[in-house]
Amino acid sequence: MAAPPFPVARPSIPPPISYRAVPRASYDAGMLHSQGQLSLQAQPRWNTSCVPVLPISSFSSQYRSYQAAALQHLTSQAYPSTSSQACASWKQETASDMKSSSVDRRRSSHRSRDRSRERRRSRSQERRRRRSPGSRRDVRQHSRDEPRQRSSRRSLSHSHSPSSRDRHHDSSRPRSSNHRGASPRSHCSRRLDRHTDRRRDYHEERRKRSEMEEKEKRRSTSRSFSTRTGRQSPEDGDQSDDEMSAGQEPEPDDAEEEDYLLESARWIRSSPAELYYQRDEKVSGLVTGTAKLHALQDKFRHDLVERAARVKSKQEPYNPPPRKNKLCNPKSHPIANPGTSDSSSNESESDDDNAMEELEVKRKHPYRLHQELWYNDPGEMNDGPLCRCSAKAQRSGIRHGIYPGEEPLTSCDPNTNNIGRLHHYRIVVTPRTNFAMKCPTTIKHDGHEFAFEGFSLLSHWPLPKLPTCRVIRFNIEYAVLYLEEQMPENFTVEGLELFTRYLFFEVLEMLDLDWRAHGDKDGCPRFHFMPRFARKLEDNGKELLSLNVVLNYLLSKNVPLVSAAELPHLFETSQSKWQAYADQVKGMIVVNPGMKPCALRVDQLDRELCNEEGTVFPEIVHFGIRPPQLSYAGNPMYQKAWRDYVKFRHLLANKPKVLYTDRHKLLQKEVKLQEMRLKSNLKRDVTVVVSSKGFYRTGIMCDVVQHALLLPVLVCHLRFHKSLDFLESIIETEFKDRYLLQLALTHPSYRENFGTNPDHARNSLTNCGIRQPEYGDRRIHYLNTRKRGINTLINIMSRFGRQEETASSISHNERLEFLGDAVVEFLSSIHLFFMFPDLEEGGLATYRAAIVQNQHLAVLAKKLELEKYMLYAHGSDLCHDLELRHAMANCFEALMGALFLDSGIKVADRVFSTTLFSEPDLLDVWINYPPHPLQEQVPEGDRKWIGSVPLLKKLNEFEQLTGIEFTHIRLLAKAFTHRSIGFNNLTLGSNQRLEFLGDTVLQLVASEYLYKYFPEHHEGHLSLLRSSLVNNRTQAVVCDDLGMVEYTIYPYAKAELKTKDRADILEAFLGALFVDKGLEYCNAFCQVCFFPRLQDFILNQDWNDPKSKLQQCCLTLRSMDGGEPDIPMYKVIECKGPTNTRVYTVAVYFRRKRLATGSGHSIQQAEMAAASKALEASKELFPQLSHQRRVLERSLKQRAPGKEDEPATKKSRDDSSTDSRSRHNSSSSRSHGSLDRRRASGERKKRSRSRSRDISKPDAKKPKQVL
């Protein structure tokens, strides 16, 4: 055994022992014991079953550095292959402990310690390291000498100490005779102390593990955008339900998969089954079923698979009452056919009535097992048909099970394992909460026990590395991984299909599952699944149970739950024996063929009503859950009461002074909700009692059901990504990050929960799934999707940008649509700009608007057939043509954004161009546009004219000031030429066209930055930040900072330029910079001049103008009785001055009270000034302002030390950053006042002499300072 890298204490166990047994009870975490064992933490409640524990030498050295949370995957599944020896050893130790007294026990421990020391002297150096301090007192004495071992022992459970129950005794050692004479009192007190200590240590360890897992979950909520493996702590803090914390990551990192790869066995074998499978002599690994296997499969098919069909054929046919079919009309829409709110409410009430009628019809089914047990019918949900789409809509779409590009598969050879055709993968689920059971399904075979550990997936094609499939169950997000593994041998495809039909159709009744291509009735399913019953072997090996043993096990368990012949005996048996009898089937799935539902989980077996004659069978007690439609969660009255309660609570929180009557009214609403939840007919939990007559055992426990109901989700995920191969072939681009493509096609309404009929999965999960699942935080459902409400707006908009590119946890395409909109606008603008050199700005804007409008983008999406790949909810939202076209346009924009992020602007341009023009001649004209006229005149550059043209010489000073050297300096001159200047040979026109181009360049660069560095912001929040970043005021300030005004070319001298004129100059400069240098230089320019200002915009809430902020504060004070809310009113109270310099004075009123007045050269400016003064003067009137300040303060506190600056600020920090900020502050204060241009110019020239900078070769990752 290799020595561990740290000093450890070794237990005194004989060298031949390679496994150590500890009592198994709720082992949910592994722990690296300092004595060299990988032990399991057990609960105080013990049983006689044991699990083997591998020594640390059996694992790779990489495990030694893992924490306990990382090692919990290694021991969460039991393989009790040596349970008989382990139980015997444990019983012997327990008996020995019961016979020893406290004093004699210590003496014996001292003798054992001395003998152990004697043996260590004669052993090798490796054996000398393994020494065992004898008693608890010696452990403490030993720990004083070794503080490291003391700290490690203190963290371990008390049950691992040498004096605890699981201590190993040396059988070769003579025992003291005093061990037999233990006093009962001392023994009981000692056992009680050990039990108490063990319980305390166990709960302490559980608490530490839960805290560590929670920290790990928070650390893994965000990751690097580029690598998708980064880790960054979210800025969530202590937030209420109305506030959103940092999102969880939609993509798992590679370390998560590496943990499972390290856990995988080094070698795998199948259990021997020579009588059922025959090896092929020519093909290695190929096995063929024998005649004995055929007989077994025929018996399995007859007894289990076809049993329900035989029973139903003898039942009287049931004809349900006729239904009023209501299909979604794709042509009717509220916009096209406007109606009143009364009509919409009446339609909603009609839908609710129809749903209740459907539920009542299902209640009255003659073969229903119980009134509170819900069953599955093909194509039906609990409250009506699954699909209400039109016949045309049902012929396409992934929601209808139609995956583009799927073709029927040739059937596999049913009598072999098809080893040359199928690819084998092991399916694992993380985390294992609610999937690692205390009592898993176990099959005893050949003297060993094989425990169920999940399923194997057999695919017809090799599965590439795809984005991980994620699903939310029990308010916990699970990742379903597939890991390639050595293929087992002893199975046939026909046996796999028989097991699949029995489990999914006969037991779980997943009647809408179809894993074949659409319209393929006789072909092979896309995937096959094999149950994995395994036990561990030496040298990290694993033995999988052959499929014939699984089929034999299911056949052997197919016996009546309670036989009629046993009823008299069961009535007379004692309570203890009856309880042992009932415990055999507790948690097992039992079936009653022909009933609805046919399968049920046994939670209790009650014999209270059994009689002596044996005519009354025991009763099955099942604890179930009502469907949401029948519980308080789906009750319309409860929903209305809940909305009223939440609204009243929100208004109360924003009320300046809360009265006692208000608090009492809120309490009454809360009591009303509680009473409705406690009503018997609205309770979610129900208790079902049915007779056990007619029920058969299956031998399947809940763990098989839990794993099985995840398989449809994984299958849909894999089929969807297989169809994306065809979409990539259409656009002739292969994504490096397939998750971006998946995200672009995901509509906000889509939820990947079950992969099939959702009510079918819910019913089967309730009837056959785990009884008491462990639930997570319910906020996970809306944590990353909620965006309505003033509190949510303020909370999100108060968050600062990340220090590195970070992927968002928002799992739909709205953010990509925000970025793609800027990409499409940018691509259209540059092509139009270069194709039409003589067209003015107005004509270019008109053409661009025609290209980027949603109606045209929907046509482009139709060309790519995006509607066939889109993922959205199977409901009525997108059944209308108008909504579907709008969703397709958004999807196309999101696709352009995904292409831009994954492959760059050139690939996005190519895909956009080929989609826009399919004709070769038009495509050639669109792609091969000419360069700018100034570039055409002098292709090599025009800097040679600087010395001869005074204007260019002056612009050279600006280049030296900024460090940007133009190849064609006349482009810079054109950018600074006002539109009042006529045509001239130097600039060939004014800067209006460059202004058009610079606007879209700035939009794209700002959109990309916000998308990457603000991952928690939704599309609307990103738009607010972008508006504050690229508006005229910000551009005018940057223009003043760079001193562009004094280089502007005018026909006459102007005293002062308006904000709009200065913003136009900056946009034209950006357009010229793009034409001359490209997008990379524009990005570097914005990194220095624009993005550092975001921090001030967030702190000052510049994204929210004063009028909007005042109206938001007023709406929070609306009346609690409903009605129209009070809003601020603006009135012009004075207007004076001539027309060109008129000054308006506006007063703002709220609830007939004047709050403030403001003046400005326009009514809008005056209203903004009045609103700003009102917010300052009436802070005590609006509690919302105090709440916003608290949110900002908390956001500042959550920022890590040393990370106060934005990424661009951090990158551009140098000696001149102070000067830049001072100029920014001064220019902000004088942007609307008089300005001494000459003095400012002199100061800038003095500062420019003291620094030498050059960004002629900018680095996108580390832009240099411009100013």
Dump the DSSP string for 884-909.
HHHHHHHHHHHHHHHHHHHH-HHHHH
User: Do residues 1031 and 981 share a domain?
Assistant: yes
Q: Which residues contact 713 (CB under 8 A, 6 or more apart)?
A: 469, 471, 480, 752, 753, 754, 755
Indicate the helix (H) or strand (E) that contains 1150. Answer: strand 1143-1150
**Cα separation, 672 vs 644, whole angstroms:** 11
Average pLDDT (875-899) is: 87
pLDDT of residue 536: 92
Give the model's confidence band at 904: pLDDT under 50 very low, under 70 low, under 90 confident, else very high.
very high
- pTM value is 0.73
Asked if residue 254 belongs to a domain, the reply is no
pLDDT higher than threshold 90 for residue 1241: no
Give the model's confidence band at 10: pLDDT under 50 very low, under 70 low, under 90 confident, else very high.
very low
User: Do residues 1018 and 1094 share a domain?
Assistant: yes
User: Do residues 1073 and 937 share a domain?
Assistant: yes
Asked if residue 365 belongs to a domain, the reply is no
User: pLDDT tens-digit profile of 478-501?
Assistant: 999 999 998 999 999 999 999 999
Contact 396, 334 (CB under 8 A): no
| pLDDT above 70 coverage of the chain, percent | 69
Average pLDDT (629-644) is: 77
**Cα separation, 1008 vs 743, whole angstroms:** 16
**Cα separation, 970 vs 976, whole angstroms:** 10
Give the model's confidence band at 117: pLDDT under 50 very low, under 70 low, under 90 confident, else very high.
low
**Cα separation, 142 vs 139, whole angstroms:** 5
Write phi, then psi, for 600 (nearest 5 degrees): -155, 145
Give the model's confidence band at 190: pLDDT under 50 very low, under 70 low, under 90 confident, else very high.
very low
User: pLDDT tens-digit profile of 312-367?
Assistant: 999 888 887 777 665 555 444 444 344 444 444 444 555 555 777 777 788 888 89
User: pLDDT tens-digit profile of 191-241?
Assistant: 444 445 555 555 566 666 666 666 555 444 433 333 333 333 333 333 444
Contact 1068, 979 (CB under 8 A): no
pLDDT higher than threshold 50 for residue 734: yes
- CA-derived radius of gyration, the chain: 37
pLDDT of residue 114: 52
Amino acid at 400: H
**Cα separation, 1108 vs 1130, whole angstroms:** 13
User: Do residues 1070 and 997 share a domain?
Assistant: yes
**Cα separation, 396 vs 402, whole angstroms:** 6
Contact 1066, 998 (CB under 8 A): yes
Contact 435, 707 (CB under 8 A): yes
Taking residue 859's Cβ as centre, other Cβ atoms within 10 Å add up to: 15
Contact 1042, 1063 (CB under 8 A): no
Average pLDDT, whole number, for the chain? 76
User: pLDDT tens-digit profile of 823-868?
Assistant: 999 999 999 999 999 999 999 999 999 999 999 999 999 999 999 9
Widest distance between CA atoms in the chain: 121
Beta strand 476-484 with 277-279 is unpaired
Asked if residue 351 belongs to a domain, the reply is no
Contact 1030, 1004 (CB under 8 A): no
pLDDT higher than threshold 80 for residue 1162: yes
pLDDT of residue 530: 96
User: pLDDT tens-digit profile of 940-989?
Assistant: 988 899 888 889 999 999 999 999 999 999 999 999 998 888 788 888 88
pLDDT higher than threshold 70 for residue 773: yes
pLDDT of residue 335: 40
Higher pLDDT, 681 or 1146: 1146
Domain coverage including residue 907: 812-930
pLDDT higher than threshold 60 for residue 141: no
pLDDT of residue 79: 34
Asked if residue 920 belongs to a domain, the reply is yes
Q: Is 1138 helix (H, G, I), strand (E, B) or coil?
A: coil
Q: Helix-strand-coil percent breakdown of the chain, rounded to 5? A: 50, 10, 40
Q: At what angle do helices 814-835 and 881-903 cross, to 10 degrees?
A: 80
Top mean pLDDT of 331-340, 419-428, 876-885 is at 419-428
Calculate the CA dihedral of residues 1235, 1237, 1239, 1243 and round it to 10 degrees.
110
Amino acid at 1252: S
CA nearest to 511, candidates 426, 413, 599, 586? 599
Give the model's confidence band at 657: pLDDT under 50 very low, under 70 low, under 90 confident, else very high.
confident
pLDDT of residue 165: 35
User: Do residues 1125 and 1170 share a domain?
Assistant: yes
pLDDT higher than threshold 60 for residue 123: no
**HSE-up of residue 685 (Cα within 13 Å, Cβ side):** 5
Domain end among 1132, 1160, 1193? 1193
Least confident range from 657-666, 722-731, 863-872: namely 657-666
**Cα separation, 590 vs 700, whole angstroms:** 8
User: Do residues 1050 and 961 share a domain?
Assistant: yes
Asked if residue 345 belongs to a domain, the reply is no
For residue 1167, the domain's CATH number is 3.30.160.20
Asked if residue 489 belongs to a domain, the reply is yes
Give the model's confidence band at 814: pLDDT under 50 very low, under 70 low, under 90 confident, else very high.
very high
Cβ-in-10-Å burial (0-12, 13-18, 19+) of 707 comes to buried
Counted domains in the chain:
5
Q: Which residues contact 1251 (CB under 8 A, 6 or more apart)?
A: 1215, 1216
pLDDT of residue 228: 36
Average pLDDT (1112-1119) is: 80
| pLDDT above 90 coverage of the chain, percent | 43
**Cα separation, 1079 vs 66, whole angstroms:** 45
Q: Which residues pair with 495 in a beta bridge?
A: none
Q: Is 39 helix (H, G, I), strand (E, B) or coil?
A: strand
Domain end among 1145, 1165, 1193? 1193
Average pLDDT (1245-1250) is: 38
User: Do residues 670 and 717 share a domain?
Assistant: no
User: Do residues 882 and 833 share a domain?
Assistant: yes
Contact 390, 445 (CB under 8 A): no
Take residue 379 and report the two structure tokens written for it: 């194509």
pLDDT of residue 1223: 36
Q: Which residue has the tokens 């004209």?
A: 925
pLDDT of residue 461: 94
Q: What is the DSSP letter of 519?
A: T
Top mean pLDDT of 123-137, 171-185, 922-936, 1213-1227 is at 922-936
Asked if residue 1058 belongs to a domain, the reply is yes
Take residue 510 and report the two structure tokens written for it: 């997943």
Q: Which residue has the tokens 């009223």?
A: 644
Higher pLDDT, 135 or 260: 260
Size of the chain, expressed as the number of residues it contains: 1267
User: Do residues 1145 and 1178 share a domain?
Assistant: yes
User: Do residues 654 and 734 share a domain?
Assistant: no
Q: Which residues contact 96 (CB under 8 A, 6 or more apart)?
A: 169, 175, 179
pLDDT of residue 1145: 94
Indicate the helix (H) or strand (E) that contains 461. Answer: none
CA–CA distances in Å: residue 1207 to residues 245, 1091, 1201: 22, 8, 14
pLDDT higher than threshold 80 for residue 782: no
User: pLDDT tens-digit profile of 589-630?
Assistant: 999 999 999 999 999 999 876 555 556 889 999 999 888 777
For residue 1087, the domain's CATH number is 1.10.1520.10
Where b means 16+ CB within 10 Å and e means fewer, 1222-1233 reads ebbeebbeeeee
Indicate the helix (H) or strand (E) that contains 291. Answer: helix 291-300
Q: Which residues pair with 532 in a beta bridge?
A: 454
Top mean pLDDT of 136-150, 363-377, 1057-1071 is at 1057-1071
pLDDT higher than threshold 70 for residue 150: no
SS3 readout for 931-997 = CCHHHHHCCCCCHHHCCCCHHHHHHHHHHHHHCCCCCCHHHHHHHCECCCCCCCCCCCCCCHHHHHH
User: pLDDT tens-digit profile of 987-1012?
Assistant: 888 899 999 999 999 999 999 999 99
User: pLDDT tens-digit profile of 1012-1064?
Assistant: 999 999 999 999 999 999 999 999 999 999 999 989 988 777 667 888 999 99
User: Do residues 1117 and 1093 share a domain?
Assistant: no
User: Do residues 992 and 1078 share a domain?
Assistant: yes
Alpha-carbon torsion (1054, 1057, 1060, 1062), positive or negative: positive
Higher pLDDT, 330 or 411: 411
**Cα separation, 390 vs 929, whole angstroms:** 45
Domain end among 930, 946, 980? 930
pLDDT higher than threshold 60 for residue 526: yes
pLDDT of residue 976: 93
Asked if residue 862 belongs to a domain, the reply is yes
